[in-house]
Structure formats: structure tokens, C-alpha cells
Amino acid sequence: MIRSIALRMAPGLFVLACLGCGSRSGARGREAAVPRPEDELRFEVLYKQNCAGCHGAEGKNGAAMDLASPEYQSLVDDSSLTKWISNGMPQTQMPAFAISAGGFLTERQIGVLVQGMRRHWAPPPPVAQLGRPSYAGSGTGDAMRGSTLFQTSCVSCHKASKQEITSPDYLALVNDQALRSIIVAGRPDIGQPDWRNDKPGTPLRDQDVSDIVHYLASLRTSTPGQPYPGHREGAE
């Protein structure tokens, strides 16, 4: 009797067992469909997750450099972009993203970011601008001459405004290369002109940019955001 009942139940138990196996197999399939972070190779996703917070959703209108600027894209080379993304930019808020430098991105993902920027924002050739200052400066400059140039070429926009880049607090957050990049490429997303200046016939030369950068660098302080030497409590 017991054997007869068992034989009648066997087909049903077999079906249930198969359904259970199928359910577990489906769960494993769904788990396998979720990509690992290092397997993500879509530029739009990588840029949104790692870059948009500072550089803006479309490469502009962010707190940091306007990456969508054709002038900037034609100025900076692939190796420099790769270096800054991989290792960060010293003396700025730009962090390192490469796994080898403590970040979360593989070399391949960083390559996707660089090539994606080129594909979306680089201007068509020819990219060179006649007389345009170089991306990297010579390392020498005259701060006194830079002060004079700042007054004639920059101060009309930067005096007593939200763009007051002579503030020691701002200068503590940006290094000389970043200053040079902004001066040469401009920030079209916020209306800042590039090296050609907003005054007809007064473009900045390579040495002019170096001198202005050295002038701004001379205004940095070792105690940004803190009372400065000689400051008295309660003094205006």
C-alpha cells in the first residue's frame, strides 16, 4: 500500500524538483547578468559616476574645468588627461581614480573616459591655434609683470566678484597647471574668455600666461581659510 502511494506521488515530486532547480538556475542567471564594477565600459555611465559631480553633467557648468570646451580638448593631450584621471592633480581637489593609485577604475576604463571625451567634445581638425600658448609652461615667470598683466587683461571680470581668483582660499585649491589651463582655454560655460582675451587685438602670449600664473601663485598662503599672520581677533 505504502509502495503504491509512493509510486503515485513520484511524478509530482519530480516536477517540483525540476521547478526548484529551474528557480535556482534562474537566480544564478540573474546574478550573472549584473556586471562587476570593473566590467563597466560605457562612457556615459563612467563619466556620470566619476566625473559629472565636479565637471558638470555634460562636461560643463560644473565647479571644475570645462571639459566640453573645444579649446581645452584641443589644448590637452591624451597622456595628460590619462595622468590626471589616473593619479589626480596635486594641490587641487582632483582625486586619483586609478586602482593603482587607490581609486576604483581600471586602465581600460580610464582609456574609455579619455576617448569618450575626445569623441564627444574634441573639435574637428585642424586643432592648433596660431600663437596659442602651450599647455605646460616653461616653469619661469615674472610675478611683477604678471601683476600688471592681470590688471590690464583679467581684473575687469575678476575684481570683487564671485570669480575673484586672487583669493588665497581659492588659490589653495588650484595648482599652477590648472590656472594655466583655465587662462589658456577659458571657461566658456561661465563666460570666461580664452587666451585671445575679450578685448580685440590683445591675445595673451605664452610668456604672458606664465607671468600671470606666477603672480597668482605668489598670492597663495600656507594658512588658507584660517586667520593670517598679524590678524587680531575682532579686527576688520
CATH of the domain at 208: 1.10.760.10
Q: Are residues 54 and 115 located together in one domain of the fold? A: yes
- For residues 147 and 236, which has the higher predicted lDDT (pLDDT)? 147
7 band by pLDDT with thresholds 50, 70 and 90? very low
Phi-psi region of 145 (alpha: psi -120 to 50; beta: other; left: phi over 0): alpha
Domain check: are 104 and 157 in the same one? no
Task: Report pLDDT for 206.
Answer: 94
User: 117 and 80 share a domain?
Assistant: yes
- Run of H or E residues at 183: helix 176-185
Domain count, the chain: 2
Query: 55 with 111, same domain?
Result: yes
23 lies in a domain? no
Q: What angle do CA 149, 161, 186 make, to 5 degrees?
A: 55
Tens of pLDDT, residue by residue over 21-50, are 555 555 555 555 677 888 999 999 999 999
Entry pTM: 0.75
Question: In the prediction, which pLDDT does 130 show?
Answer: 75
Same domain flag for 172 and 210: yes
Residue 3: which H helix or E strand, with range? helix 2-33
Task: State yes or no: pLDDT of 192 exceeds 60.
Answer: yes
Are residue 200 and residue 152 in the same domain, yes or no? Answer: yes
Between 161 and 103, where is the model more confident? 103
Name which residue leads in pLDDT, 201 or 5: 201
> How many Å apart are CA 79 and CA 226, to the nearest integer?
37
Residue 65 lies in a domain: yes
Residues 154 and 91 in one domain: no
Q: Is the pLDDT of residue 180 over 90?
A: yes
The whole domain housing 156 covers: 143-217
169 with 106, same domain: the answer is no
For the chain, give the mean pLDDT.
83
Judge if 108 and 167 occupy the same domain: no
Kindly state whether residue 188 falls inside one of the protein's structural domains. Answer: yes
Answer yes or no: is pLDDT of 9 > 80.
no
pLDDT score, position 197 = 79
* C-alpha to C-alpha distances, 41 to 49, 81, 160, 192, 218, nearest whole angstrom: 12, 18, 44, 33, 42
Any domain includes 7: no
172 in the same domain as 108: no
DSSP bridge pairs for 145: none
| pLDDT over threshold 90, residue 126 | no
Count helices and strands in the chain by DSSP H and E runs = 11, 0
* Whole-number Å distance between alpha carbons of 17 and 12: 9
Please compute, for residue 58, the number of CA atoms within 13 A of its CA located in the half-sphere on the CB side. 4
Q: Which of 56, 88, 121 is the last residue of a domain?
A: 121
Q: What value does the mean pLDDT take over residues 70-77?
A: 92
The pLDDT-based confidence of 5 (bands split at 50, 70, 90) is: very low
Mean pLDDT along residues 140-158: 89
- Note whether residue 137 is domain-resident: no
**Which tens digits make up the pLDDT trace of 82-93?**
999 999 999 899
Cell reading at 55: 565637471
Give the 3-state secondary structure percentages of the chain, helix then strand then coil, rounded to 5. Answer: 55, 0, 45
With respect to residue 111, please indicate whether it lies within any of the assigned structural domains: yes
Q: Indicate whether 18 belongs to any domain.
A: no
Does 133 fall in a domain? Answer: no
